[in-house]
Amino acid sequence: MKKHNFSAGPSILPDVAYQNAAKAILDFNGTGLSILSISHRTKDFEDVLNSAQALMRELLNIPENYHIYFVGGGASTQFFHIPANFLGKKAGYVNTGVWTKKAIKEAKLYGEVEVVASSEDRNFCYIPKNFEIPTDIDYLYICTNNTIYGTEYKSDIDSPVPVIADMSSDILSRPIDVSKYAVIYGGAQKNLAPAGVSFVIIRDDMLQKVVRPLPTMVNVNTHVENNSMFNTPPVFPIFVMNETLKWIKSIGGLEAMYKINLEKAQILYDEIERNSLFRPTVDQPDRSLMNICFVMAEGKEELAADFLKFATERGMVGIKGHRLVGGFRASCYNALPKESVEALVACMQEFEQLHK
């Protein structure tokens, strides 16, 4: 039976990335060595690293005054790296869920945090809008896509202060204007690579804004100056990232990727709206293309466990909602084929017919 991988992360990656990674595990680039045991100081791997940086720059149209580096530790490490480097007195955070709350907690260790906007009043089912951005903060922090609640920013923020964004779960899913951001970072295990590597895109001027002496590995300048090689980088995840970036370029880049993602999301959201057994949980303008959350319709809540079992038996993997919100979550990351979304829709329709 074919499996349809809707897992929120680590998530589905392109078949070509799996295939080339499998080959490289046995013999990397004709070296006779496995990518799992290759020295990161070899030219073969440096070529991979440089290629990944160049492809990311090309696909995102990253201006020349930005640096890209890769580092371990996941987005959760960046939760404290960001304020350690840049929070002098006060920073502004937009609270849109679990991940921004975790980032706020870490930031408070370094200075004052002003929550300039929040959607907690309605259990994070929308993205705050039309809020005033203070001009006396060191930076404004956002998370552009919220995997647990299924909300997503649909446009780049205009801000009088530097914007720092966690884009772990929607990076390279759509075009963005990188010049609107001072720092973009994320864990790569959604749209780019297996778990183990994070990416950081940082504007030149921010390298001069480090506000305190820091341990070497925490200081952003360390990783820029050493081109991700101050210590051993996550070699295998970077290899897979490079393969994924090549795949995105091969299908037409971010414009093509965005079109595909819009189509997949529309198919599933249309069915959630139509189907008498289900309802969406997020305000329409802010619904994520990456993490589509829904619950049983009012009065049908007792069918939740039955539907999960029904869907699982038909090859749907990872659709159970996060434990904090319940319900269901279909993560439709870049590499998820449209056929998987159509299979889930067919499953929902079949379940509806059984419970009319």
CATH number reported for the structural domain that contains residue 345 in this entry: 3.90.1150.10
Q: Do 227 and 302 belong to one domain?
A: no
Number of residues assigned to the chain: 356
Give the CATH number for residue 165: 3.40.640.10
Structure tokens at 125: 């089912």
Q: Do 124 and 172 belong to one domain?
A: yes
Where a domain ends, among 198, 225, 250? 250
- 162 contacts 139 by C-beta, under 8 angstroms: yes
Q: Do 237 and 342 belong to one domain?
A: no
- 272 contacts 294 by C-beta, under 8 angstroms: yes
Q: Is 166 a catalytic residue?
A: yes
Is residue 9 one of the residues assigned to a domain?
A: no
pLDDT at position 332: 98
Q: Do 42 and 168 belong to one domain?
A: yes
CA dihedral 63, 66, 67, 68 (to 10 degrees): -60
Total number of domains in the chain: 2
Q: Do 126 and 261 belong to one domain?
A: no
Using alpha carbons, select from 168, 178, 95, 145 the residue that is nearest to residue 287: 145
CA dihedral 41, 58, 164, 158 (to 10 degrees): 170
Catalytic-labelled residue, pool 138, 170, 190, 286: 190
pLDDT at position 324: 84
Q: Which 3 state secondary structure label does DSSP give 349?
A: helix
First to last CA, the chain: 27
Q: Is 27 a catalytic residue?
A: no
Provide the CA 196 distance to its chain's centre, in angstroms. Answer: 14
Structure tokens at 286: 């802010």
Structure tokens at 201: 């895109």
Where a domain ends, among 192, 227, 250? 250
Using alpha carbons, select from 167, 212, 276, 190 the residue that is nearest to residue 6: 190
Is residue 8 one of the residues assigned to a domain?
A: no
Report d(CA 355, CA 300) in Å as an integer.
10
Report d(CA 280, CA 125) in Å as an integer.
10
Structure tokens at 188: 């790569």
Question: Domain containing 126: what range?
Answer: 15-250
Catalytic-labelled residue, pool 138, 166, 170, 286: 166
Using alpha carbons, select from 185, 199, 193, 172 the residue that is nearest to residue 236: 193
Q: Do 29 and 169 belong to one domain?
A: yes
CA dihedral 311, 314, 316, 321 (to 10 degrees): 10
pLDDT at position 256: 98
Q: Do 97 and 194 belong to one domain?
A: yes
DSSP β-ladder status, 316-317 and 328-331:
unpaired
Q: List, in sequence order, the alpha helices (H) in 112-252.
A: 220-225, 235-250
- 140 contacts 103 by C-beta, under 8 angstroms: no
The C-alpha angle with vertex 293 and arms to 116 and 247, in degrees rounded to 5, equals 95
pLDDT at position 64: 98
Tell the burial category of 101 from Cβ atoms under 10 Å away from its Cβ (0-12, 13-18, 19+).
middle
Is residue 143 one of the residues assigned to a domain?
A: yes
The C-alpha angle with vertex 115 and arms to 184 and 149, in degrees rounded to 5, equals 65
Q: Do 44 and 31 belong to one domain?
A: yes
Q: Do 170 and 304 belong to one domain?
A: no
Is residue 3 one of the residues assigned to a domain?
A: no
- 305 contacts 313 by C-beta, under 8 angstroms: no
Catalytic-labelled residue, pool 3, 47, 90, 99: 99
Q: If the chain, 356 residues long, is cut into consecutive pieces of 10 residues, what is the mean pLDDT of each piece?
A: 95 97 97 96 96 98 98 97 98 98 98 98 96 98 98 97 98 98 98 97 98 98 97 97 98 98 98 98 96 96 97 97 92 98 98 94
- 286 contacts 154 by C-beta, under 8 angstroms: yes
Using alpha carbons, select from 123, 73, 132, 74 the residue that is nearest to residue 95: 123
Q: Is 190 a catalytic residue?
A: yes
Neighbours of 319 (CB within 10 A): 23
Structure tokens at 67: 């640096």
- 238 contacts 251 by C-beta, under 8 angstroms: no
Q: Which 3 state secondary structure label does DSSP give 38?
A: coil
Q: Do 49 and 195 belong to one domain?
A: yes
Is residue 4 one of the residues assigned to a domain?
A: no
Where a domain ends, among 224, 250, 276? 250
Q: Do 238 and 274 belong to one domain?
A: no
